[in-house]
Amino acid sequence: MGPAHAAATGEFLVRDSKDANGPLPSLTREGFTGLVEFAKLHG
């Protein structure tokens, strides 16, 4: 699930890349934007 899923549903799925079997939280567009901004500031 990637950009096509996000474009079709407005749902951004994220996962910890170190845990491929971990949970798959769903973020809104605004939530995903906030996560990216946070990562840029604190990365």
Q: What does the alpha-carbon distance between residue 41 and residue 11 come to, in Å, rounded to a whole number? A: 23
Neighbouring C-alpha atoms within 13 Å toward the C-beta of 39: 6
| Amino acid type, 29 | R
In percent, how much of the chain has pLDDT > 90?
Answer: 70
**pLDDT given at position 15:** 87
∠ CA(25), CA(35), CA(2), 5° rounding? Answer: 55
Tokens 């990562």 found at: 39
Q: Tell me what pLDDT residue 3 has.
A: 87
Burial of 42 (0-12, 13-18, 19+ CB in 10 A): exposed
The per-residue pLDDT for 43 is 79
Which residue range forms the structural domain that includes residue 29? 3-15+24-42
pLDDT band at residue 2 under the 50/70/90 scheme:
confident
Predicted confidence band of residue 16 (pLDDT cuts 50, 70, 90) = confident
Number of domains, the chain: 1
Find the mean pLDDT for residues 15-23: 89
